Amino acid sequence: MLGFTIGLGGLGVALIGLPVEYWGINTIIHLLVLFPLLAGLIGITIKDDYHKRARKPKRLLLQGD
């Protein structure tokens, strides 16, 4: 699993390198700072239906009930 994540990080660096060459590192770093904020805003808009969909546990019927 560690190798997989290191490999993904390497791919990410390669993909970020292209815009850095074009616009400069300062601009790209400022844009990268906005990504977690954007993800948070998207996460806030996700509807939470977990409690509506969760099944209530069924009561066990024991002999003599």
Q: What is the overall mean pLDDT for the chain?
A: 84
CB-based contacts of 28, cutoff 8 Å, min separation 6: 16, 19, 20
pLDDT for 16-33, tens place per residue?
999 999 999 999 999 999
Query: What is the distance between the alpha carbons of residues 19 and 32, in angstroms, rounded to a whole number?
Result: 11
Average pLDDT over residues 38-51: 82
2-12 pLDDT, tens per residue?
Answer: 899 999 989 98
